[in-house]
Amino acid sequence: MLQNNLLQKVSQDQMCTAIGVKVVTSNEIILLARAAGYDSVFIDLEHSVMSIEDASRLCSTSLLSGITPFVRVPYECGSGFVQRVLDGGAMGIVFPHISTPEEARRAVSMTKYPPNGQRSLTAALPQFDFRRIAAKEMIPQVNAVGSTVFVQVETKMCLENIDAIAAVEGVEVLLLGANDLSLELSILGEWEHPRFRDALKLVAAAARKSGKVFGIAGLYSRPDICRHAVRDLGARYVLGHLDIGLLAIAMNKNVEQLRSLDTKP
């Protein structure tokens, strides 16, 4: 059986943690994530120069490490691109800039096998260790737990259509993208602004109403808001930070420590 840490955590009313990967393409980043205790990895093909081959390698390592790999694809990348990412080992796809129920339905169609969607069938997937499994056994598993559909909430139109988008069958996660959404709302980075706080509540309520997972991303420097989203609004998927951000934080701290060595008492 396929293992999806997000769905397993949600079934137990627990939070699923994630680390974003956009610059480090070697397997070591996944092993470090496992050692740190992350539940999932968010591989970013939207805002990076990583290739599908890079993503597939990271996905395969994640699967072997017990960390669930999700991949964010570029906006309007097309069903062929999505299929290659899924065939390469992704356990779910993050679709950015979804604004309408029709776009959400297309996202589901690209990601799920019939009768849930129109994904093309192939054999020997990395999700099953490249073993040949009968389609009648594979398809239900992949549709249920191996092809999670994330709709990224980051446009004003998405907020306006959020209840209808959340109600789309096959959409499993409403992931609020804080940075792009605040930019769209003309309040970039103003996390205390009433419009942003209202957006958090709106997306959380839509997820709760339709039985979908509420997730948050982009609030890496505001653990207080993340805590509010998890404890008060029911968020169950949290993107903790990106690899490049964590490297920058650690390097800055290390330089501070080094410079302190030469500081006279």
234 — phi, psi (to 5°)?
85, 20
51 — phi, psi (to 5°)?
-95, 170
Do β-strands 68-72 and 92-95 pair in parallel, antiparallel, or remain unpaired? Answer: parallel
**Which among 47, 97, 193, 241 is annotated as catalytic?**
47
The letter for the amino acid at 59 is C
Using an 8 Å Cβ cutoff, are 117 and 170 in contact?
A: yes
Using an 8 Å Cβ cutoff, are 185 and 160 in contact?
A: no
**Helical ranges in the chain per DSSP H:** 5-11, 28-36, 52-65, 79-87, 101-111, 135-145, 156-160, 162-166, 178-184, 194-210, 223-231, 243-260
Give Cβ neighbours of residue 216 (< 8 Å, ≥ 6 apart). Answer: 175, 176, 178, 200, 226, 229, 235, 237, 238, 239
Q: List beta partners, residue 21.
A: 43
Active site residue 97: no
Task: Map tokens 């008060």 to a residue.
Answer: 232
Question: DSSP string of 73-108?
Answer: PPTT--HHHHHHHHHTT-SEEEETT--SHHHHHHHH
Q: Which residues are catalytic?
A: 47
